[in-house]
Amino acid sequence: MSIKTNIEYYTGDIDSPSYTAQAQQFVNDGIRFVYGAVLLNGEMASRLSNETEVTTSTGISLTDTMSIDYVQRLDAESNGVKRECVEGEAALSGLYDDEKSMYYATKTSPVYYIKDNNLVIHPECSSTEKGYVGTVKPDLVSNIENTYGVESTRLLPELRAAVTLYASAQILLSKMNAIGKPTDANLTTVTAGDVNSDADRRDVNMWLDIVGDYIKDEDVELASAYLSKINSYLQNYQMELTADQSQYQWYESQYLKVSQSLASFLQPYIGFGGAE
């Protein structure tokens, strides 16, 4: 089934009115949220990690990176060994290349630091003496009409249900917020109306004023007719309001169920393996 179909299993139709654009955003927000939650577990961080090669002195950008799993550097051009890099400080970057400094970085004791959202390795890397960085970046989707397998190959299958639950909860919350008072105007504002004006006689906000005019003119029949119209309007208004309240309560109940299911789903991942 498509991602959209999975969401609609919890939320109902999202085409009319359309929540498709919001659902697209909520799915990607959900992927980030789920990654952030399971990354509390060191084992999950390793499973989600993807290796990137570093071949220049400028390092690699960490844009969209949620976690760094490891940083390594080859200690020789051919048949080199991947040496673990020690985390350093950007403020000491000039000393990592100074042979006289106690902070001097060597091929067998490499160092990395982060500056301006870039990860840089010392000694500097090249196409022959590469660095290797294991990073976790959320695999986002571009079309919720597709399945998770098509859209996000690195999103672990066992985590896809959590993403669906997160997006569904946000859609339900959006539907709750979209429910307001009934669409028709109400009678809380009384506006002066002219009984001789067709437009005024059709304006519900002027009905009470018109009734008052008829009563003042002692036209009981027309006053009664307008009071009957007002009573019918109020009954319809109450029916619409009741329907909206019932719909809101369903969305609210479903939202709580989905949110609780999401929390329960993530608990084993967060609680197993320990946090780093």
Q: Each residue of 133-171: pLDDT tens digit?
A: 999 999 888 899 988 877 666 688 889 999 999 999 999
Burial 96-129 (b: 16+ CB within 10 A, else e): beeeeeeeebebeebbbbbeeeebbbbbbbeeeb
pLDDT at residue 23, rounded to an integer: 95
What value does the mean pLDDT take over residues 225-248?
Answer: 68
Please report which residue ranges of 119-159 form alpha helices under DSSP H: 148-151
Q: Each residue of 175-199: pLDDT tens digit?
A: 888 876 555 544 444 455 455 555 5
The CA-based dihedral angle spanning residues 49, 54, 57, 61, taken in that order and rounded to the nearest 10 degrees: -40
pLDDT at residue 276, rounded to an integer: 42
Contact 261, 165 (CB under 8 A): yes
pLDDT at residue 182, rounded to an integer: 52
pLDDT at residue 226, rounded to an integer: 63
pLDDT at residue 275, rounded to an integer: 40
Q: Each residue of 25-84: pLDDT tens digit?
A: 999 999 999 999 888 887 888 888 999 999 999 999 999 999 999 999 999 987 899 999
What value does the mean pLDDT take over residues 213-242?
Answer: 64
Helix pair 160-178, 3-11: axis angle to 10 deg: 50
Contact 155, 30 (CB under 8 A): no
* Average pLDDT, rounded, for the chain: 82
pLDDT at residue 273, rounded to an integer: 43
pLDDT at residue 268, rounded to an integer: 85
pLDDT at residue 129, rounded to an integer: 94
Judge if the upstream peptide bond of residue 17 is cis by omega within 30 degrees of 0: yes
78, two tokens: 């051919």
Contacts of residue 220, defined as CB under 8 A and 6 or more positions apart, other chains included, come to 214
pLDDT at residue 14, rounded to an integer: 94
Q: Each residue of 111-134: pLDDT tens digit?
A: 999 999 999 999 999 999 999 999
Helix pair 20-38, 3-11: axis angle to 10 deg: 100
Contact 33, 167 (CB under 8 A): no
pTM (2 decimals)? Answer: 0.71
What value does the mean pLDDT take over residues 205-213?
Answer: 59
Q: Each residue of 75-114: pLDDT tens digit?
A: 998 789 999 999 999 999 999 999 999 999 999 999 999 9
Q: Cα 96 to chain center, whole Å?
A: 41
